[in-house]
Amino acid sequence: MSTGKKTPPRPSEEEGVVLTPEQLRRRRARNIAIASVLGFLAVLFYVVTIVKLGPNVLNRPL
């Protein structure tokens, strides 16, 4: 049972898009910015959760 779909051949690395050093630098800066924001949000959610639970969360019966 063939669906008749054929995938086009993938281009080799030589035929792909080659980024300039400036584009690579901007991509790296953008990736660092995104990673920083995600890390900040993770820490913010953790801190907000701890604050909302309050200090008595440790004084519970086990």
- Predicted pLDDT at 10: 64
pTM: 0.61
- Predicted pLDDT at 45: 96
CB 19 within 8 A of CB 27: yes
- Predicted pLDDT at 60: 74
pLDDT values of the chain reduced to their tens digit, one per residue, 62 residues: 556 677 766 656 567 899 999 999 999 999 999 999 999 999 999 999 888 888 777 777 77
Query: Can you list the pairs that 18-21 forms with residues at least 24 positions away whose Cβ atoms lie under 8 Å?
Result: none
Measure the N-to-C terminal CA separation of the chain; round to a whole number of Å. 60
